[in-house]
Amino acid sequence: MKLKLKPTISLLLGLGFGLAAASSAWSQSTLEEVMKERGLTQKDILAAAKTYTPTGGRDEYIAVSSGGQSGQLIVYGIPSMRILKYVAVFTPEPWQGYGFDDESKAVLAQGNINGKQITYGDTHHPAFSETEGDYDGRFVFINDKANPRVAVVDLHDFETKQIVVNPFFKSEHGGAFVTPNTEYSCG
């Protein structure tokens, strides 16, 4: 039995060393080799380096985008364009618990129209809160294109705090707007 075990161990060790050497050689590609293999120019590499944010690093800016028919807001980092957060607004989100606890159920209930529970939304055209005409980073307002409502999202914790129904309209396609000191918001 010892005679058969020795060649098997040698074979496994040989395979292991071979795989390690191959992966090491592949990972040691030079920048020039990668550029050639992928058909990249120096301009391509420079553009990629300008947008790269290392793992754990922070982006310089964020963008808040409408999620459309998902009924959410999406927060992106810039320049990396990584999705940082999906913010539940008009639609229950089981994966993050929104609409399933008492607090968020109460927020969603604010968006009921004529006593009817609305469980979908079509977010469009966010607007940031302002102080003396400058963005102050406190809130973002987002309208629901499918229903006459506007939501208020707190940018401190990226949670929907209020949904306001506009009783004078049947649907709301326009964007959300605020006055220079955010005394009023409309959609």
Q: Per the domain annotation, does 8 fall within a domain?
A: no
More confident residue, 8 or 166: 166
- Does 176 map to a domain? yes
Q: Is residue 93 part of a domain?
A: yes
Q: Do the Cβ atoms of 127 and 146 come closer than 8 Å?
A: no
pLDDT at residue 88, rounded to an integer:
95
Mean pLDDT of 104-116: 93
Q: What is the pLDDT of residue 158?
A: 95
Q: How far apart are CA 74 and CA 140, in angstroms?
A: 12
Length of the chain measured in residues: 187
Minimum mean pLDDT among 10-19, 29-38, 57-66, 68-77: which range? 10-19
Domain that holds residue 95: 88-186
Residue 158 belongs to a domain: yes
Tell me whether residue 103 is in a domain.
yes
pLDDT at 51 over 80: yes
Evaluate whether 171 touches 146 at the Cβ level (below 8 Å).
Answer: yes
> pTM, whole model, 2 decimals?
0.74
Tokens of 37: 């293999």
Please indicate, yes or no, if residue 25 is contained in any of the structural domains: no
Q: What is the pLDDT of residue 90?
A: 95
* Category of 36 on φ-ψ map: left (φ > 0), alpha (ψ -120 to 50) or beta: alpha
pLDDT at 141: 94
